[in-house]
Structure 1
Amino acid sequence: MVLSRFWLAIFISSIVFVVFNLFFGNSYTIDYVLNGKKDDPILLSEKYIYEVPAFIKDSIKKAPDQTMVVNRDTINADTTYVFKNKTVKIFSGVQKSDGLLPTCKATLIDLILPLMAYLAFFCGLMELLIISGASGKLAKVLSPVFVKVFPSIPKNHPSISYMTLNFAANFLGLDSAATPFGLKAMESLQTINPEKDKASDAQIMFMCLHASGLTLIATSIIGYRAAANATNPADVMLPCIITSFIGTIAAFLIVGIKQKINFKSASLVIVLMVLIAAIVGLLMYVNHLDLIGKNYFTSNLSSLILVVIIGFTLIFSFIKEKKFTEAKTTVYETFVVGANNGVKTGVTIFPYVLGMLVAISLFRNSGLFEIISHWISFGFSNIGVSKEITDALPVALLRPFSSAGSRGFLIDSMNTFGADSMTGRLSSIFQCSAESTFYVIAVYFGSVNIKNTRYALGTMLLVDVICVITAILVAGWFF
């Protein structure tokens, strides 16, 4: 219900704002909201040739393409005058994201189809893990811990192994593998959900832990920083780990208190201590490496582990081939069945993802997000927050809505202020310390047709806020 109302609020407020600006504001056209492409110039006005200043008119007539670019606009990068069909069109600034219709197309072609391919492959592997008995063995080993965190899950339930693989993939920065594992976990948890259209306690706990984004190898962030000529592209890795770890602990505590989980359990304490020790150990190891060593470690560890998981699954399936024979199937046929289920899951989640991304596109292109972002930054600056921090806030504000959008702000902040600036580094930490909340909600709950997400959205947004505050404190401490 909360998600539905929020979605409606974004859509309706954006439409009202766009229409208001067309008739009473400075907008000349709203076509870009529907048909525009990201980074396209925005049409501000149209005039007859004799209405423009003389020096512009003369320059346009002399130009071979009858176009003139003036770098005099203090707000946007440039102003472009294009003479065509007796009128001069004046463009300034660029569009923040694709329009509504291009977003529909891009959602299917650039997002859903690749996601379906990942789902097909990894769901095929997971089907092998199920038939071979590997997932059952993993669930049995981890049950003592998971039954404390997820008391409503029966002991040795298959969802335990899927959630474990999802957490591991997120931890190692394997986004392409994390989503299929997570969707399989949600489907498995749905089988024991007594109210099929309402999120269960276990599903909410899983979603909030997943969305907190605990990551060891922030591969993409390191790549963006390297492309922006950072002195040490991996220098934000430790702040990212600390921030995401605190976010994960916060998510666990908030949901745990709500669900009245026993935090004094010995197994929980032991696992938490082991996890902290493992993270500290890895950080100490990485910290003593030189720049080339860090780059080599971060670029190879996650990929190597993924290859090992794939290899283990196939070898274990070969060793346990008798189980496939008993199930009247083969290893390859089992993989195909799992892959087919992955494709079906992709088709199921498409409408949910489409609805959310179109709303976000309209929200950004309407200008409402820019206004909200500006006033929040203005408010922070008035209470003494440094400009270096407020300049990075757009990344944090957009991250819950769109990973691609916040990534654009990240790259822009590094290009504008420098990859080694406080703003550039803080933007990097914002980008890697949490998930795209609304996208995750749409994908995961949409995959099992849950309509009532209960308190999941509120908790995930609260964790996002905690991650933002932590990122600012950690960045100030390190840099």
Structure 2
Amino acid sequence: MPLVLNKIWVAFILVGFVAAVAQLLQGDLEIFTRVLNGLFETAKTGFDISLGLVGVMSLWLGVMKIGERGGLIELFSRVVAPFFRRVFPDIPAGHPASGSIVMNVSANMLGLDNAATPLGLKAMQELQEINPHKDTASNPMIMFLVLNTAGITLIPTSVIAIRQSIALKQGLVGFNAADIFLPTLLGTFVSFCAGLVAVALWQRINLFCKPVLAFFAGFAALMGGLYFWLAGMPAEQMAQMIGLLGSGLIVSLIVLFVAVAAWRGIDVYESFVEGAKEGFGVAVQIIPYLIAMLVAISVFRTTGGMDWLIGGIRSVVLALGLNDDFVPALPVGLMKTLSGSGARGLMVDVMTTYGVDSFPGKLAAIIQGSTETTFYVLAVYFGSVGITKTRYALAGGLIADAVGLVGAILIGYAFYH
């Protein structure tokens, strides 16, 4: 939703300027100096963070290229295929759309956003081929998009990379940026389940079948085992164990990809380099969007606008008798529905303001990693095939977003508060 993001960006600048003029009229002669210094400092911060992101994204996409050529990503797709066949009963057996959907969702689960988008657009084109009403979203299209916007992310690659970059800038030695792995996985699973159940009820899809029940049972067993393992641990030890689990799984996955690819005779080094080049391009593309949003937020924050917004939300939360420690991270979730780059900028702002290892900083990372840009995804995917009547797709996506946001906040409290 570029138009919506444009309005938000302009509003941050204009509201901040009006607030600055009001403070100037009240005798604050340093306000515009602070705003200008904030702009320069924020632009530098955004560039520094992006530089750190280049290395990590190059590393991860290089590893993913090894996994792709080694056949493990395709194997993963085949494992989850039975589940998706039951969730999309209107797609004819053997139709290529099924394969594209599985590959798209698999890429999203592994954090491969650059690979997931072209696969998703291909899936939409193939779903349009079997759509009897070319201007109206079909049932499989709606299910696909809602699951896409609420999809499970096994490894929040970019969030971990940004956390590591900010931690280095803040001088945190030995910081484990992967300690949000388990909370983010739980948050994104909650969002996924909400979207799946909502659309299944609309489409009267029976979820009580073996592949679907096996999927939920497997995840529930995994979470139950982790709960009994972590239950009773002091908060600090629990955080260490979660970090160990996240970093251990990621390192093990890298070693597995390399070992299998080498065993199959793949040129592992060249595969890594090719994927790393893609990672470099992805990270560089983020720089202007991140800096653009950060400078607008800087004006809004320096002039007191962000404090006013958070203060207003906090007043409502306190009036309801709730704990308000989550409020600084809440704008990330509200923005994520509209714009991924906008939410990324707000997440960075929370981490730099409160600290990457603070509760708001961790919660902002969980929210960023477990919610999705519903408006943007619907606009791009439906627009690519000329769909103008989206039926209940937006409602399903917003339900998944809302439940996912609440779930992420509660999970953040359970793990870190």
Q: TM-score range by the shorter chain?
A: 0.5 to 0.7
Tell me if 1:32 matches 2:30: no
- Partners of 1:293 and 1:147 lie apart in 2 by 41
Matching residue of 1:301? 245
Check whether the contact 1:146–1:160 (CA below 8 A) recurs between aligned residues.
Answer: yes
Check whether the contact 1:136–1:156 (CA below 8 A) recurs between aligned residues.
Answer: no
Distance 1:348 1:273, change over 3 A: same
- Partners of 2:145 and 2:238 lie apart in 1 by 36
Q: 1:275 aligns with which of 219, 223, 238?
A: 219
Paired residue type of 1:188 = L
Shift of the alpha carbon at 1:376? Answer: 2.5
Q: 2:254 aligns with which of 304, 307, 310?
A: 310
Matching residue of 1:385? 321
How many residue pairs get aligned? The number is 364
Q: 2:47 aligns with which of 108, 117, 130?
A: 108
Q: 2:99 aligns with which of 145, 154, 157?
A: 157
Distance 1:207 1:366, change over 3 A: farther
What are the Cα deviations for residues 274-309 of structure 1, in whole angstroms up to 9, with x where unaligned? 211210121112225577864553232222222221
- Partners of 2:295 and 2:5 lie apart in 1 by 10
Matching residue of 1:183? 114
What are the Cα deviations for residues 67-101 of structure 1, in whole angstroms up to 9, with x where unaligned? xxxxxxxxxxxxxxxxxxxxxxxxxxxxxxxx2x4
- Partners of 1:125 and 1:7 lie apart in 2 by 33
Shift of the alpha carbon at 1:132? Answer: 2.6
- Partners of 1:318 and 1:208 lie apart in 2 by 35
Kindly report which structure 2 residues correspond to 1:30-429, keeping only aligned pairs within 5 A, or say none: 30-33=32-35, 35-37=36-38, 99=39, 101-111=40-50, 113-149=51-87, 154=96, 157=99, 160=102, 163-164=105-106, 167=109, 179=111, 181-194=112-125, 202=144, 204-210=146-152, 245-254=189-198, 263-287=207-231, 294=238, 297-321=241-265, 324=266, 330-382=267-319, 384-386=320-322, 389-398=323-332, 400=335, 401=343, 402-407=346-351
Distance 1:392 1:290, change over 3 A: closer
Paired residue type of 2:270 = E
Check whether the contact 2:58–2:280 (CA below 8 A) recurs between aligned residues.
Answer: yes
SS of the counterpart of 2:99? coil
SS of the counterpart of 2:123? coil
- Partners of 1:292 and 1:380 lie apart in 2 by 28
Distance 1:10 1:458, change over 3 A: farther
Check whether the contact 1:162–1:182 (CA below 8 A) recurs between aligned residues.
Answer: no
Paired residue type of 1:17 = V
Matching residue of 1:231? none
Distance 1:125 1:450, change over 3 A: same
Paired residue type of 1:141 = V
Check whether the contact 1:398–1:405 (CA below 8 A) recurs between aligned residues.
Answer: no
Greater share of residues in helix: 2
Matching residue of 1:63? none
Distance 1:378 1:305, change over 3 A: closer
Greater share of residues in strand: 1
- Partners of 2:408 and 2:186 lie apart in 1 by 9
Shift of the alpha carbon at 1:162? Answer: 7.0
What are the Cα deviations for residues 399-418 of structure 1, in whole angstroms up to 9, with x where unaligned? 5432233345655997xxxx
Paired residue type of 2:367 = A
Check whether the contact 1:243–1:471 (CA below 8 A) recurs between aligned residues.
Answer: yes
- Partners of 1:413 and 1:117 lie apart in 2 by 21
Distance 1:30 1:213, change over 3 A: farther
Moved more, 355-364 or 255-264: 255-264
Distance 1:354 1:207, change over 3 A: farther
Higher normalized contact order (CA 8 Å, seq sep 6+, divided by chain length): 2
- Partners of 1:345 and 1:449 lie apart in 2 by 19
Check whether the contact 1:116–1:343 (CA below 8 A) recurs between aligned residues.
Answer: yes
Query: Which structure has the larger Rg?
Result: 1
Moved more, 304-313 or 356-365: 356-365
Gaps of 5+ in 1: 38-98, 168-177, 228-235, 325-329, 415-423
Paired residue type of 1:434 = I
For the aligned residues, what is the CA RMSD?
4.9
Distance 1:364 1:250, change over 3 A: farther
Distance 1:117 1:204, change over 3 A: farther
- Partners of 1:239 and 1:136 lie apart in 2 by 27
Check whether the contact 1:116–1:342 (CA below 8 A) recurs between aligned residues.
Answer: yes
Distance 1:212 1:21, change over 3 A: farther
Shift of the alpha carbon at 1:434? Answer: 1.9
Check whether the contact 1:243–1:470 (CA below 8 A) recurs between aligned residues.
Answer: yes
Check whether the contact 1:147–1:155 (CA below 8 A) recurs between aligned residues.
Answer: no
Distance 1:379 1:192, change over 3 A: closer
Matching residue of 1:67? none
- Partners of 2:278 and 2:412 lie apart in 1 by 43
Check whether the contact 2:57–2:276 (CA below 8 A) recurs between aligned residues.
Answer: yes
- Partners of 2:277 and 2:408 lie apart in 1 by 41
Check whether the contact 1:140–1:155 (CA below 8 A) recurs between aligned residues.
Answer: no
What are the Cα deviations for residues 80-134 of structure 1, in whole angstroms up to 9, with x where unaligned? xxxxxxxxxxxxxxxxxxx2x44344333312x3333223222222222233322
